[in-house]
């Protein structure tokens, strides 16, 4: 939950709306349907292995050590870029409250503090990391639910007209952008060896 609900959920609806207008709602839906097949593959593979590693383990078992190493390396590099993007997103949010946070030095310092802080918590062990993840999950899901609840009173059919062609970009690009908001499930099996019953827990997750 914490891997999926993040900067993509809070930041990307506005970007998608700019690209495709009200049709951006369908962009999320179509992207989700396309990713469902991938998610089901991860669930199936998660039920077969109980070791840490996720994609690395699956690729190694299927294609050998060399390709497994390549997939693991790409996954690791992708994770680093993802951390950097999320850290920069936090900086951009803070810039809304005070111009100082929008300056380049402040953005980099905030990103560095976030990554170093979470890295330290992770280094201390699974339990401290799990507690922080639980707190962050509640801290993100609760405002999102409140936002949806409050926003439901302001739904107006006029906002959805015209449904197509209201954006400044393309619908296919909006579907592509929705990937950032909907991916994250692939990180679930990486620490599977730390859970009590990974072959049951990972597919459910």
Please answer whether residues 95 and 102 qualify as being in contact, where contact means their C-beta atoms are separated by less than 8 angstroms: yes
Considering the chain, what percentage of its residues have pLDDT values greater than 70? 100
**pLDDT class for 80, splitting at 50, 70, 90?**
confident
Rounded Cα gap, residues 199 and 190, in angstroms: 12
- Does residue 63 surpass a pLDDT of 90? yes
Q: What is the pLDDT of residue 78?
A: 84
Rounded Cα gap, residues 45 and 103, in angstroms: 44
Dihedral sign, Cα of residue 188, residue 189, residue 190, residue 195: positive
Q: What is the pTM of this model?
A: 0.72
Rounded Cα gap, residues 95 and 111, in angstroms: 13
Using one digit for the tens of pLDDT, what is the confidence trace for 101-129? Answer: 878 888 888 888 888 998 899 888 888 88
């Amino acid at each position: 939950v914490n891997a999926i609900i993040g900067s993509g959920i809070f930041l990307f609806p506005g970007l998608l709306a700019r690209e495709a207008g009200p049709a951006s709602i369908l962009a999320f839906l179509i992207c989700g349907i396309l990713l469902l097949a991938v998610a089901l593959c991860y669930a199936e593979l998660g039920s077969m292995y109980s070791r840490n590693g996720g994609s690395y383990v699956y690729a190694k078992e299927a294609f050998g050590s060399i390709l497994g190493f390549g997939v693991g390396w790409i996954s690791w590099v992708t994770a680093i870029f993802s951390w950097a993007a999320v850290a920069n997103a936090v900086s951009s949010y803070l810039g809304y409250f005070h111009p100082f946070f929008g300056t380049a030095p402040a953005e980099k310092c905030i990103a560095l503090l976030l990554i170093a802080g979470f890295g330290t918590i992770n280094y201390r062990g699974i339990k401290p990391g799990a507690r922080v993840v639980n707190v962050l999950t509640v801290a993100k899901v609760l405002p999102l639910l409140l936002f949806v609840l409050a926003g439901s009173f302001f739904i107006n059919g006029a906002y959805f007209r015209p449904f197509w062609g209201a954006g400044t970009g393309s619908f296919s690009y909006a579907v592509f952008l929705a990937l950032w908001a909907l991916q994250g499930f692939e990180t679930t099996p990486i620490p599977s060896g730390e859970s009590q019953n990974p072959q049951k827990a990972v597919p459910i997750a």
